Amino acid sequence: MLRDFDFITGDRLIWQQPKFGVDYFQLRVGSEHLAEISWTEWFSDRATARTSKAGWIFDRLGFFRRSIQVIEDATGVEVARIELNWWESGQISCASGAEFAWQKTGFWGDTWVLSRKNGPKLFEFWFGMHWFKRAGEVVLASGARLVPELPLLVCLGWYLATCDAQDASGAIAAGGSVAAVI
């Protein structure tokens, strides 16, 4: 059973991949399960996320896949969109009118920061591996719990970081294939 984000008492949330090789992930605080995200099919950019109060569909659009659309699962209405640059940073525009900035902290790193557009940081996001499974940590800044879009933004952050890791893996595999031919 998913707990509400209002339950959060600490400032650290953990993303876990319960089973190696399965693109299903859970957001936890302690033993409580707050959210989940899963990819709907192999080799697809389409993923679904849900919390106790809402569900969304994330999908990358376009040839270079620089735009991500967020659709509310229950209504089919677009609730957010992010346009990424080549450094995997971008602006998130929500249907509510709220705007946020998603920024990678370094070229080689797997750490991001989400903040209000031209405003304070809401959370830092780390993405990596733990025992051959993907893992992540979200460290909330003070006041982040007051942002109504927080559950969506935390799920979108996981989606963006996972897509970035998949793109990097694909580039490394493609480079290795070319090197093997030469």
Is it the case that residue 181 has pLDDT exceeding 60? Answer: no
Residue 180 lies in a domain: no
Residue 2 lies in a domain: no
- Extract the tokens encoding 26: 């859970």
pLDDT of residue 31: 85
pTM score, whole prediction: 0.84
pLDDT of residue 169: 46
* Closest of 1, 27, 46 to residue 137, by C-alpha: 27
**CA 81 – CA 87 distance, rounded (Å):** 17
Model pLDDT for residues 23-63, shown as the tens digit of each residue: 899 999 988 899 999 997 777 889 999 999 999 999 998 76
Domains: count for the chain: 1
Model pLDDT for residues 76-86, shown as the tens digit of each residue: 999 999 998 87
Residue 178 lies in a domain: no
- Extract the tokens encoding 5: 């984000």
Residue 179 lies in a domain: no
Residue 20 lies in a domain: yes
CATH label of the domain that carries residue 126: 2.40.160
- What range does the domain containing 120 cover? 12-172
φ, ψ of residue 138 to 5 degrees: the values are -115, 120
pLDDT of residue 129: 67
Average pLDDT in the 132-142 region?
Answer: 86
Residue 3 lies in a domain: no
